[in-house]
């Protein structure tokens, strides 16, 4: 059973990705989130208007399928699907990435595929639903409905869960009449952090890779991704990564900060021999290093390092930079929380966005394209909009077009970027790595039902796309993410 954690400080692996604190101070219920895949069920709230299956394939070349997957990572399933269809993985698209240890129902787009071509895949039920004229994208997902059972909780889990829920309802703020929203039917809220799985649940490396890319150091990005072993990884994986570090002339000191040890031997063929075949993306990078016989002492921004980095699919290239943006966003939220600034309403200098008018009724969903700067004169007006669910306070996912907030919110963003050694212009990068940035609501709000069956709770709720169920559940469990 997980050790009880009280207070506001997060676990070390969470702090590594910018999640420094808890909102609630009540003790957690402990337990496990995924004793079986069936304990973690996710169903997409779809926003795709597909044409019929018999629509003209010239106008609608992408087949849309609804897949219910048991114990499948989205990227791994896409690779298995592309193998079964004998086509490039680049012809497969989806609107949202899901966790492996779960039962998930989601849409995939298959370019140039007929329903009769669909393969049979273990742990997958694939249903063709229609055709569209383009690949699926993030905007095709409105949100997700979750039903999550936590097993092996403490004996007094029910009163503990009630206490946490009261704190999260208080964090949600005030209602439109100015009253305190702490009754049992009120929504709960937490900071809208990017969850641990965004960065790697047991090896939170993607944000570090992304920050290296943004700093113009593809050499370090390749080393971070292919090398830099984590203690939680299997022994064969650690051995493979240690061999990569030796080739680079680096060693990991266990906290994610490599240090130069000796001149690297640059024996990429030996690295390939040591790297387990299950780590296909790492091996793809090493193949390119071996192909060009890259000198490990080559300048950090040399084209050969970019060539190796671009061995991975374009969606993973984007994920690296997105993870860097997510790390910075988490740090901004943690600093706002540390300073005691509100999340449910703006202060002067904030940038707010209005609600998504097309979102399903069960979602508290922001529209980051409809922004409003909050001047001193407009604070009270925007407070009313936020209290009525019509607006949300935002923070930046930094990119080339990011403009800073004013006042203390802007000062927080500047301080975080200065500490990371990056600035918006650094996101002007080659190919899929480039990002103009956007903004994201800082508070995640939802209607929550907690049902206790056989002493274990089941949490039911819906979240807008891009938000993480584990960010809500961590407040209830307060468990170490590295524990089973």
The dihedrals phi and psi of 467, each to the nearest 5 degrees, come to: -105, 160
Catalytic residue among 20, 39, 99, 426: 99
For residue 122, how many other CB atoms are within 10 A of its CB? Answer: 8
**Inter-axis angle of helices 206-214 and 314-339, nearest 10:** 100
Cβ partners under 8 Å of residue 8, min gap 6: 21, 22, 23, 25
H or E segment and range at residue 331: helix 314-339
Tokens 């860097």 correspond to 324
Nearest to 138 by CA among 95, 193, 89, 181: 95
The DSSP code for 459 is E
For residue 96, how many other CB atoms are within 10 A of its CB? Answer: 20
- CA–CA gap between residue 481 and residue 201 (Å, rounded): 7
Cβ partners under 8 Å of residue 305, min gap 6: 218, 219, 221, 222, 294, 298
Tokens 């008018």 correspond to 357
For the question of residue 99 being annotated catalytic, the response is yes
Q: Answer yes or no: are the C-beta atoms of 144 and 99 closer than 8 Å.
A: no
Cβ partners under 8 Å of residue 267, min gap 6: 247
DSSP-derived 3-state class of residue 303: helix
- CA–CA gap between residue 382 and residue 219 (Å, rounded): 46
Cβ partners under 8 Å of residue 116, min gap 6: none
Q: Which tokens sit at 239?
A: 């051995």
- CA–CA gap between residue 168 and residue 251 (Å, rounded): 42
- CA–CA gap between residue 433 and residue 316 (Å, rounded): 9
Cβ partners under 8 Å of residue 378, min gap 6: 372
- CA–CA gap between residue 71 and residue 69 (Å, rounded): 6
- CA–CA gap between residue 42 and residue 50 (Å, rounded): 21
Residues annotated catalytic, as ranges? 99
């Amino acid at each position: 059973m997980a050790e009880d954690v009280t207070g506001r400080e997060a676990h070390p692996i969470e702090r590594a990705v910018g999640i420094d604190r808890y909102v609630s101070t009540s003790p957690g219920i402990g337990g496990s989130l995924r004793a079986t895949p069936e304990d973690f069920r996710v169903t997409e709230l779809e926003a795709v208007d597909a044409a019929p299956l018999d629509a003209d394939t010239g106008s609608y070349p992408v087949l849309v399928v609804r897949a219910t997957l048991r114990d499948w990572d989205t990227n791994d399933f896409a690779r298995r699907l592309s193998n079964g269809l004998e086509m490039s993985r680049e012809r497969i698209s989806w609107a949202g990435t899901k966790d492996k240890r779960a039962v998930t129902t989601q849409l995939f787009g298959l370019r140039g595929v007929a329903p009769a071509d669909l393969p049979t895949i273990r742990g997958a039920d694939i249903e063709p639903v229609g055709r569209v004229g383009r690949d699926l994208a993030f905007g095709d997902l409105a949100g997700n409905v979750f039903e999550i059972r936590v097993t092996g909780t403490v004996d007094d889990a029910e009163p503990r869960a009630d206490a946490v829920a009261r704190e999260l309802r208080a964090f949600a703020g005030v209602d439109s009449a100015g009253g305190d929203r702490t009754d049992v039917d009120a929504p709960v809220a937490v900071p809208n952090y990017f969850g641990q799985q965004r960065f790697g649940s047991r090896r939170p490396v993607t944000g570090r890779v992304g920050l290296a890319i943004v700093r113009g150091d593809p050499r370090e990005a390749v080393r971070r991704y292919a090398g830099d072993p984590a203690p939680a990884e299997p022994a064969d994986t650690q051995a493979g990564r240690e061999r990569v570090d030796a080739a680079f002339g680096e060693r990991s000191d266990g906290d994610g900060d490599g240090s130069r040890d000796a001149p690297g031997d640059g024996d990429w063929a030996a690295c390939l021999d040591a790297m387990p075949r299950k780590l296909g993306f790492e091996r793809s990078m090493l193949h390119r290093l071996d192909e060009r016989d890259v000198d490990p002492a080559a300048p950090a921004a040399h084209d050969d390092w970019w060539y190796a980095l671009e061995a991975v699919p374009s969606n993973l290239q984007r994920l690296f930079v997105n993870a860097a943006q997510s790390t910075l966003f988490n740090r901004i939220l943690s600093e706002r929380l540390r300073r005691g600034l509100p999340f449910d309403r703006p202060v002067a200098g904030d940038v707010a966005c209005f609600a998504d008018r097309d979102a399903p009724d069960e979602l508290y969903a922001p529209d980051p394209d409809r922004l409003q700067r909050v001047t001193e004169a407009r604070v009270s007006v925007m407070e009313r909009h936020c209290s009525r669910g019509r607006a949300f306070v935002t923070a930046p996912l930094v990119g080339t077009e990011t403009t800073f907030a004013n006042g203390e919110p802007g000062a927080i963003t500047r301080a975080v970027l200065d500490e990371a050694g990056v600035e918006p212009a650094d996101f002007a990068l080659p190919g899929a790595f480039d990002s103009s940035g956007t903004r994201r609501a800082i508070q995640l709000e939802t209607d929550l039902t907690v049902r206790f069956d056989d002493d274990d709770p089941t949490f039911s709720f819906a979240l807008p796309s891009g938000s993480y169920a584990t960010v809500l559940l961590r407040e209830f469990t307060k468990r170490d993410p590295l524990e089973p």
